[in-house]
């Protein structure tokens, strides 16, 4: 997956985030988002116990006990707060995070997410994925349109284990933006030079769209 595509996805999701929101960013593409927020003040939550995560520190300020959920060194912004894991997940599970931006292995056409386990491979990690899926007020998926093997990641029905019954609200890929409306997937924007026919080809999930959507790009 090209860095240009990753940046494109991050930028597009950054546009969806509003001043003052509390946001939890998953590993991978979502971690690029802070670079594209412009003047918007957001509050980043890290599930290992911090609200108000700031950028990567200079080398002299690195402290292994001030890290993100991705276990990278971080800083704290003015007005940050620290708490333990149980209170961090009370915040997440209790619906106090405005937006969670998550990577996925698959998302189905109803918005159901698979982002933790690949059958046949060792399933030894779940982390906070299911808590975020269950608890965030809004879930935005950041993903490439297809997996490395070329298979669609936006599928009719999950073939990988589900991360929970709670559905995603939006999917942003390098080609397009989709939303979910009462269990139906809808194309709202094409953000590459892909044609609608090509997009349908790259997508296993069934989605609706209006002509305006396509021609707007």
Partner 1 sequence: MRRSGFNGILHTNFITNERGTSMEKLIEKSEYLHYINDNDTLLVGGFGLSGTPLTLIDELADSSKKGLTIVSNNLGEAGKGLGKLLLSKNIKKAKGSYFTSNRDAVKAWSDGELEIELIPQGTLAEAVRCGGAGIGGFYTKTAVGTKLAEGKDVKVIDGETYILEKAIKGDVSLIKAMKADTLGNLIYDHTGRNFNAVMATAGKIVIAEVDEIVEAGSFSPQEVETPHVYVDYIVMNKYVKKGGKYVEHS
CA 2 to chain centre: 17
The strand pairing partners of 160, in sequence order, are none
Whether 211 is catalytic? no
User: Which residue in the block uniquely carries the two structure tokens 């080398």?
Assistant: 59
User: Which residue in the block uniquely carries the two structure tokens 């194309």?
Assistant: 187
| CA 144/CA 112 separation, integer angstroms | 16
| CA 108/CA 30 separation, integer angstroms | 20
Find the shortest distance in angstroms from Cβ 100 to partner 1: 12
Find the shortest distance in angstroms from Cβ 161 to partner 1: 5
- Piece in contact with partner 1 (CB under 8 A), picked from 4-12, 77-85, 171-179, 190-198: 77-85
Phi-psi region of 10 (alpha: psi -120 to 50; beta: other; left: phi over 0): alpha
Residue numbers 19-38 binding partner 1 by CB under 8 A: 20-22
For residue 37 the two structure tokens come to: 């927020």
Strands 207-208 and 176-181: unpaired
Return the sign of the alpha-carbon dihedral for residues 152, 154, 159, 164.
positive
Residues 109-148 vs partner 1: string with x where CB under 8 A? --------x----xxxxxxxxxx--xx-------------
Find the shortest distance in angstroms from Cβ 207 to partner 1: 23
Residues 187-206 vs partner 1: string with x where CB under 8 A? --------------------
186 binds partner 1 (CB under 8 A): no
Residue numbers 86-105 binding partner 1 by CB under 8 A: 86, 88-98
Q: How crowded is residue 121: how many other Cβ atoms within 10 Å of its Cβ?
A: 7
The residue among 99 and 142 lying less far from partner 1, judged by its C-beta, is 99
For residue 148 the two structure tokens come to: 């490395």
Q: What are the residues binding partner 1 (CB under 8 A)?
A: 18, 20-22, 43, 45-52, 59, 61-67, 71, 73, 76, 78-86, 88-98, 117, 122-131, 134-135, 161-166
Catalytic residues, by residue number, are 47
């Amino acid at each position: 997956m090209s860095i240009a595509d990753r940046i494109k996805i991050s930028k597009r999701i950054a546009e969806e985030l509003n001043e003052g929101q509390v946001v939890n960013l998953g590993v991978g593409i979502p971690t690029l988002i802070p670079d594209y927020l412009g003047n918007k003040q957001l509050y980043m939550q890290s599930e290992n116990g911090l609200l108000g995560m700031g950028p990567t520190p200079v080398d002299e300020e690195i402290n292994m006990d001030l890290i993100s959920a991705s276990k990278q060194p971080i800083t704290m912004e003015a007005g940050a707060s620290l708490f333990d894991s149980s209170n961090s997940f009370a915040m997440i599970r209790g619906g106090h995070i405005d937006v969670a931006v998550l990577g996925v292995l698959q998302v189905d056409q109803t918005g159901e997410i698979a982002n933790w386990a690949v059958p046949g491979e060792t399933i030894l990690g779940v982390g906070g994925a299911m808590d975020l899926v269950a608890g965030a007020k809004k879930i935005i998926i950041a993903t490439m349109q297809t997996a490395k093997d070329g298979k669609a990641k936006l599928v009719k029905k999950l073939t990988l284990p589900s991360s929970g019954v709670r559905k995603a609200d939006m999917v942003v890929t390098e080609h397009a933006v989709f939303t979910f409306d009462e269990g139906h997937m809808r194309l709202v924007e094409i953000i590459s030079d892909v044609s609608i026919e090509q997009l349908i080809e790259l997508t296993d999930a069934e989605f609706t769209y209006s002509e305006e959507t396509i021609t707007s790009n």
